[in-house]
Amino acid sequence: MGRLKSDRRNGNGKLRSDYAYNVRSWMKSVSGPLFSQTLNYQESMAGTILCYNGNISSMSWKAGSETTDRGYRFTYDGLSRLKDATYGEGNDLTTNPNRFNEQITGYDKMGNILKLKRYGQISSAAYGLVDDLSLTYNGNQLLAVKDIATSGVYGNGTDFKDGANQPTEYAYDKNGNLIKDLNKNISSIGYNCLNLPDQVIFGNGNSILYDYGADGTKLRTVHTTGSSALTTDYCGNAVYENGVLKMLLNEAGYVSFPDRKFHFYLKDRQGNIRVVADKDGTVEETNSYYPFGGMFTSANSVQPYKYNGKELERKNGLNCYDYGARQYDAVLGRWTTV
């Protein structure tokens, strides 16, 4: 059938991943010592609505040294759009419920999200509502976001930063590209002839500049924060910072410099990087994701590639995934360009 059955890295059993499928060739599980994931469709689990159309009714995972399953139950509307992602732990996902829920309580007639609730970690030992968002539009263009949640996320987890309280907080050019985001204090975004962002200017004077090849491949970014600048060059699979080789990417992970150490990615069904481990199988980073791509609070982050294997650009508060042709804001579940 040509389906991937196993993936073994560096000849180390700790870095193994095995894959299983159901009779319809839908992926059923990823299993290995450092990361495992189980996907349910029509399989019965207490509290889930069974799905026979390919939608995932529930999923669970364990990463790194975790000994307890973590996961979500999903519900959808009549158009198969996500409504509720209800978090839980344990074999039946009933332990520590609702800690990282993500809920869409309304879509408009064009499929835009009208209301979104997100739960997360609010202190070292407490969990609660971190986002309670209402989104308003002009057609398909987002105009403003209001957040009435009173708690912010703890650490480096995902939540919306409500930096403005105006009727119009976002602006667009004639091509539909986002050119202003007051909530992120972005005063202007410029685009090149390929509709790719070439500069992002923040209200505090910080900036991000981009250079591309003729085919749209990103070649360089320059992040300026105050009086300091960080230049990142992308030369094929080599990544340089301020002229010094930083990473050499490959299909299995990357080699870091100057220590010349190998690091391996363990991915889930969507290609999300869940675990980063060294050649001996020692875990260096673990990641857990909300359904829309935001990240749970994590104590360790050693490299920038996360959801779908895409680079997460956090500097200056941009907090977008770079998909090449456009950027994605996982906090709102929206792309920045058409």
> Is residue 1 over pLDDT 80?
no
Q: CB–CB of 37/46 below 8 Å?
A: no
Q: How far apart are CA 4 and CA 203, in angstroms?
A: 48
User: Which DSSP helix (H) or strand (E) runs through 172?
Assistant: strand 170-172
> Is residue 45 over pLDDT 90?
no
The predicted model gives 183-207 an average pLDDT of: 98
The predicted model gives 306-327 an average pLDDT of: 97
> Is residue 299 over pLDDT 80?
no
DSSP-based three-state secondary structure for 330:
coil
Which has more pLDDT, 177 or 2? 177
What separation in angstroms does the CA of 118 have from each of 104, 109, 235, 256, 286? 9, 22, 38, 35, 21
Average pLDDT score over the chain: 97
pLDDT at residue number 2: 85
What separation in angstroms does the CA of 226 have from each of 200, 201, 208, 270, 318? 14, 12, 12, 37, 16
pLDDT at residue number 46: 83
DSSP string, 275-308: EEEETT--EEEE--B-TTS-B---S---SSB-GG
Amino acid code (one letter) for 2: G
| 206 backbone dihedrals φ, ψ, rounded to 5° | -70, 160
Measured in residues, the chain has a length of 338
Of residues 168, 114, 174, 179, the one with CA closest to residue 143:
168
Q: What are the beta bridge partners of residue 289?
A: 295
pLDDT at residue number 40: 97
The predicted model gives 308-330 an average pLDDT of: 97
pLDDT at residue number 277: 98
pLDDT digits (tens, 9 = 90+) for 204-219: 999 999 999 999 999 9
**At CA 137, angle to CA 134 and CA 138, rounded to 5?**
165
**If 0-12 CB within 10 Å is exposed, 13-18 middle and 19+ buried, where does residue 267 land?**
middle
pLDDT digits (tens, 9 = 90+) for 53-78: 999 999 999 999 999 999 999 999 99
pLDDT at residue number 44: 85
Q: How far apart are CA 92 and CA 86, in angstroms?
A: 12
Q: What are the beta bridge partners of residue 102?
A: 85, 118
pLDDT band at 47 (very low <50, low <70, confident <90, very high): confident
Across 80-140, where does the E strand assignment appear? 82-89, 102-107, 113-121, 127-138
> Is residue 238 over pLDDT 90?
yes
> Is residue 298 over pLDDT 90?
no
Say how many CA atoms lie within 13 Å of 271 toward its Cβ: 7
pLDDT digits (tens, 9 = 90+) for 251-292: 999 999 999 999 999 999 999 999 999 999 999 999 999 999
Report how far Cα 236 is from the mean position of its chain's Cα atoms. Answer: 23
The predicted model gives 5-13 an average pLDDT of: 93
Tell me which long-range contacts 191-195 makes (C-beta under 8 A, separation of at least 24). Answer: 191/337, 195/337, 195/338
